[in-house]
Every structure is written in structure tokens, then in C-alpha cells.
Amino acid sequence: MKQLHEDISACEQCPRLRTYCQGIARTKRRAYQDQTYWGRPVSGFGDPAARIHILGLAPGAHGANRTGRVFTGDGSGYFMYPVLHDVGLANQPEGVSQDDGLRLRHTWISSVVRCAPPNDKPTPQEIRNCAPFLKREIDLLSKVRVVVCLGKIAFDGFLAYLLHAGIIHRKSEYRFAHAAEYTLPNGMHILCSYHPSLRNTNTGRLDRAMFTQIFIRAKELAGLDTPQANLRPGA
């Protein structure tokens, strides 16, 4: 896994993405002017013995592209990590930096694209360029039983891996919808969720209760107990 992290952070395959990420890291957002941005492709994070793999779209321009850790330091992470903590998959509800003490339990988080794309829209070729990293990562995460796909791009990227690996024979049998779930021929499970982006959470398309139920279900499919006592009222 360490070698994979090094290979991801050194990747220069997509000139458009590298130019964009480096430009963001130089200009910065006003609130982060005193910080040094990571500005490199971002690796996965979590428990190497994970039974749940959370797969997102890409690093946030001022989130993971700044902090160097997925879903850390932006609105998506501020929405997700409290939910993971509530259901017992994280040791704390906050993710703000690489040295904040956050640890995941039974869970690994990564993305189908490892650089922040302009307007959150990677090109098909950029997704394909990152696909070998996803394959290597999945091969290393040998205990995963459930893949939670956050959004359709992550879902489509995972289906492309499954098709290339010969695990499925056609993608048309699998359709993205919030809370949709599938059992694959190899016994693994796919569980779908809307992405916890501000576009979804601020508009109410995805709320905390909906997102919490996704991870309660993920734990059930993974054979993990859910500590119901940790759930807050209204979660």
C-alpha cells in the first residue's frame, strides 16, 4: 500500500488536472492563505483490513487537494465523517487535516480520480488514466465485502473495473440510484448513495438520515454490528 501511495502522489498522466491542482495550490482560497496546499494526487485512507470501501469521485480543490487526505477539510467530509463516527466506523466526527487523529474502523476511503478536476468533472480519459490505481488498491483491500459508491461517476468507475476484471459481463444490469444495492457474482456487494457534496446536502437531496442509513446497511452487508446507541436523535 505504501508503494501505491507513492506512485499515486507522483503521477503526472493528466496535464489538465495537474495544471489545475497546482494552480489552486499556488493561488489558494483566502481562508487558507497561511497554509501549504498538498497539490498532488491524493491516495486512499483508512483501515487496510477494511470490509467496507467507500468510493468517491475525486479530491476537493480546497479539501483533499489542500490537506492531502480524502474528504478532509471540505463540506463533503464535514458531512460524512460525523455519520461514520455515529455508526462506529470512525473514532471521531471531524476530519480537518492529516494529523488530526482521525482513524477509520473496518473502512477504506478513496476515489476513482485522484486529482481535483475543474467543476468536479473529470474527462472519460482522465478516469481511465486513474483506473490502474483503483485496480491495485482493490487488489490490496482483500477483505472488502461492500463497496459504497458515492455518486454515479464513482459507480460507473467501479463498474468499469468489474467489467475489466471479468467479475461482471455487462454494465447494463446495474443502474445507479440512491440506496440501490447489488450482490456481485463474486459475493461482494455494491451499495449506492448520492454524493455528500454541498450541492446535494444543502438542497436536501441528501440528508443526514438518508446517509446514515446507507452506512447502517453497509455494516449489515459487511457482517459488522451497528452500535445503535451511538446514533444521535434525528440521525
CB 95 within 8 A of CB 106: no
Domains in the chain with CATH codes:
2-224 (3.40.470.10)
Q: 10-residue block means of pLDDT along the chain (235 residues)?
A: 97 98 96 96 98 98 97 97 98 96 98 97 97 98 98 98 96 97 97 97 97 98 69 37
DSSP 231: P
Per-residue pLDDT of 120-175, as tens digits, reads 999 999 999 999 999 999 999 999 999 999 999 999 999 999 999 999 999 999 99
The pTM assigned to this predicted structure is 0.94
At 104 the three-state DSSP class reads: strand
CB 180 within 8 A of CB 139: no
